[in-house]
Amino acid sequence: MNSLIIKRVIDEANYMVDTKQTVREIAKIFNVSKSTVHKDLHERLVDIDAVLYEQIDSILKYHIDIRHIRGGESTKKKYKKST
């Protein structure tokens, strides 16, 4: 694996651990696609740093658990703006 990719994966992972931001938000910050961030954090990170992967995995699972709440809040804001 390319050293630039390894550095990006570790930077993304550390950023997610520090800020608890979503994959979409991290993708915007690192200027890559959300698919790339997901692949970095879900597939590549386990080969690079297993301990950091465990932390990221728990954050990603938390985001999955609350996504229906965030979606509802987003829809509520959307319709509040239009009225």
More confident residue, 83 or 59: 59
* H or E segment and range at residue 9: helix 3-19
Six token digits for residue 57: 């995995």
Tens-place pLDDT, residues 1-45: 799 999 999 999 999 999 999 999 999 999 999 999 999 999 999
3-state SS, residue 75: helix
Given a cut of 90, is residue 54 above it in pLDDT?
Answer: yes
- Closest by Cα among 50, 61, 48 to 20: 61
Spell out the domain ranges in the chain: 3-82
CB atoms under 10 Å from CB of 59, counted, come to 18
- Closest by Cα among 72, 77, 62 to 23: 62
